[in-house]
Amino acid sequence: MYTAKKIVKTVKTSDYLSDYGNVNSNLNYCMQCPNYNKNWACPVYDFNVEEVIKKFRNLDIYAVKIDFDKSDVGEKLPGEANAILKKSLNKEKRLLHNELLSKESARHNSKALIPNQCKLCNGCSRITGGNCVYPNKSRYSFEGFGGDLEKTASGIFNIPMKWVIDSKIPEYTIIFGGLLY
């Protein structure tokens, strides 16, 4: 099991870009991800990300801190680690994705940024050159829009980022989403 706690902070987009976001260096991280250019939420984009962000004045950043049960923390067999992560991370990402869509529809002229890649489909149509199957629900990723997770976690939320590495589950991790407006 796990517990999840959501924290929301508002920053000026210009401050976020100058202090915590870095579209270019994040692109290098994105290029190492297996979803790079294979998921509509992820780069490569056919527009300038910074120009899009600069159209908005504020960014609400949603951090969901996922505390893993003590029995789940530590080195696990790969299948066991995947099961733990599927129950927690994927569920919380879906919940945050849906909440951000709701916030976006309630706030005129806003844009939601989802945690990581879109998981609405079992396999993204971008791989086969098709259009997005759910354009009304899919959004771009927080990371793909330059969100530096480590700087955001420590600088804005005062919580150091912990990563899931291979099959080692940390005591907690954090997922991020955002609402530009």
Separation CA 129–CA 127 (nearest Å): 6
Domain coverage including residue 81: 2-180
pLDDT (tens place) for every residue of the chain, 181 residues total: 899 999 999 999 999 999 998 787 778 888 888 888 999 999 989 999 999 999 999 999 999 999 999 999 999 998 898 889 888 999 999 999 999 999 999 999 999 999 988 888 888 999 999 999 999 899 999 999 999 999 999 999 999 999 988 889 999 999 999 999 9
Q: What is the pLDDT of residue 164?
A: 86
Please list the alpha-helical segments (H only) found in the chain.
Answer: 13-19, 23-32, 49-53, 78-85, 91-106, 149-151
pLDDT at 156: 97
Confidence (pTM): 0.92
Three-state DSSP state, 5: strand
Predicted confidence (pLDDT) per residue in 126-148, tens digit: 999 999 999 989 999 999 999 99
Number of domains in the chain: 1
